[in-house]
Structure 1
Amino acid sequence: MYIPEIYKNENPEAINDFLQKNSFGILVNQVDGKLWATHIPLELDINENGKQVLYGHISKENPQWNSFASDSKILAIFSGPNSYISPSWYDHENVPTWNYTAVHIYGTIKIIEGEALLLSLKKLVDKHEAHSENPIKIEDLSERTMLQTRGIVAFEIEIDEIQAVHKLSQNRDDKNYHNIISELEKTGESNSIAIAKEMSKCRK
């Protein structure tokens, strides 16, 4: 994606943290020459070869997986908070804009089966059950219930390139920057407040 230099996020730790917190992404590839996208959780991890990967799965009824073998290159898109920025928040005339955070990952996908599939499901469930009052574990599910795994295709995406953007009014002076934060907080809207928090981290 196009990212002006001032908005590039090149901090690996910050990017990893973003991906952990915003793991519901969009998997994009081509199916019969047509762009195809599926909204699914894609979990960041390190594989057995020490390489950074994404794990995920889709339904076998979804034709997207049929192209994984013939065209293994994919794009995964992750979006964070975003918010409208009003020009009325500046001390000078300007145009409206939008602040946002996002990550694009380009990678090579391969289907995984057997123990690798079960391990990817376990990691996904353990992560999202961690705060449940009565957490469920994959290994505790009955054989009958686990038969449903026959209806999915699991995969591993080896990461080739990461592009990350955090457009957070970095081009504004301190006075206007902090006024934007204040105005975002006043909205009471969750996305706007989240952007205000991100801006506060970038500039004290």
Structure 2
Amino acid sequence: MYIPTAFRVNDQSRLVDFIKGNSFGILFSQEESEPSATHLPFFLDEKTGDNGVLISHMAKQNPHWKKLNGKEVLVVFQGPHAYISASWYKDPNTVPTWNYVAVHVYGTVQIIEKKEEMVERMEKTVHFYESSMPDPWDTPFDDEFIDGLLNGIVVFEILINKMEGNGN
């Protein structure tokens, strides 16, 4: 992403906070014939690995996951954005622009195949999203119904190599 110097966010804690507050991202990868993108919820575990990991899952019926293991990917987290009219400036030598806030995360995908590791990642994710609820749902991963649902998803994590943010 092109980021003008004045808008570049270098503060890692600001990037982490932004992702946590805007955690529904778009996972992009490049296949042989075309790019792929999937909209997904992510949980950022900043305590795992050198730069943290993003944890997510998708339906096994989604073909996007089939060639992701070990692949470099991009996840885009988008925040507020707005059109800026040239008429708002006193200087006549200006043009319209667009202000926006976004974080791009680059990393390598690792598919989680062991059931106990899948459950651990899903528990972290559910606890993150349920934490703001007045009566948080307690994840019954030992339940037969939930166990069956786990068979229909692919859990993965993305080892973060680089994060960059635009705080325009």
Could you tell me whether the CA contact under 8 Å between 1:29 and 1:75 is conserved in 2? Answer: yes
% identity of equivalent residues: 39
Cα distance change of structure 1 residues 48 and 99 upon mapping to structure 2, 3 Å threshold: closer
Contact 1:105 1:162 in 2 (8 A): yes
Q: Equivalent residue for 2:65?
A: 65
Please list every run of at least 4 consecutive aligned residues from structure 1 whose deviation after the TM superposition is greater than 3 angstroms.
46-51
Instruction: Report the number of matched residues.
Output: 166
1 or 2, which has the higher strand percentage? 2
Is the CA contact 1:30–1:67 (under 8 Å) kept in the aligned structure 2?
no
**Residues 49/85 of structure 1: CA separation in 2 closer, same or farther (3 Å cut):** closer
Q: Which residue of 2 aligns with 1:40?
A: 40
Partner of 1:131: 132
The normalised TM-score by structure 2 is 0.90
Which residues of structure 1 form unaligned runs of 5+?
168-204
Cα offset for 1:136? 0.9
Q: TM-score, normalised by structure 1?
A: 0.75
Rg (Cα) greater in structure: 1
Q: Give 1:32 shift.
A: 3.9
- Give secondary structure in 1 for the equivalent of 2:9: coil
Aligned equivalents of 2:142 and 2:127: distance in 1? Answer: 13
Q: What is the alpha-carbon distance in structure 2 between the residues aligned to residue 118 and residue 147 of structure 1?
A: 12
Moved more, 32-41 or 113-122: 113-122
Tell me what 2:108 maps to: 108
Unaligned runs of 5+ in 2: none
Three-state SS of the structure 2 residue aligned to 1:115 is: helix
Indicate if the aligned counterparts of 2:44 and 2:52 stay in contact, CA closer than 8 A.
yes
Give the equivalent residue in structure 2 for 1:157: 158
Tell which has more relative contact order, 1 or 2 (C-alpha 8 A, sep 6+): 2
1:30 to partner: Cα distance: 2.3
